[in-house]
Amino acid sequence: MVVRHWREDLCTVIQVTGDLDVAGAPRLRAELEQATTVSGPLNLILDFTEVPFCDSVGLGVLVGLHNQVKRRKGRMIVVLAPGMIRHLLTITNLDRHFETSESLAEARAAMGSAA
């Protein structure tokens, strides 16, 4: 798994490549710890378009991050390609809780309109 993050205006973008599973979750958690040290509201865009697989451990990381963002009065948009992770959010009813986007450009525009 490869994780990169950077600041853009009033949000942090986190780009993930590879499987979000028991092996990759610690790497993502470490990057999230660094990326979420900003003060004030926590506004994140998670680019998961290059994440083909997510297991229950990875899903737990996402739910924990979502809760952290809500506690800090922020916003989180998850960018998803059609496929497994979008389906996983649907069958677990988490699609009702996660804001999703089909492209990084769309998520940036949506985040900009809320800022």
What is the rounded CA–CA span in Å between residue 69 and residue 96? 16
Helix (H, G, I), strand (E, B) or coil at 49: strand
What is the rounded CA–CA span in Å between residue 18 and residue 92? 22
For the segment 27-41, what is each residue's pLDDT rounded down to a tens digit? 999 999 888 887 778
Residue found under tokens 């809320």: 114
What range defines the domain where residue 94 resides? 2-114
Question: Does residue 17 register a pLDDT over 60?
Answer: yes
- Give the Cβ contact number of residue 6 at 10 Å: 9
pLDDT at residue 35, rounded to an integer: 85
CATH of the domain at 24: 3.30.750.24
Question: Does residue 76 register a pLDDT over 50?
Answer: yes
Q: How many domains does the chain have?
A: 1
Helix (H, G, I), strand (E, B) or coil at 53: coil
For the segment 86-114, what is each residue's pLDDT rounded down to a tens digit? 999 999 999 999 999 999 999 999 998 65
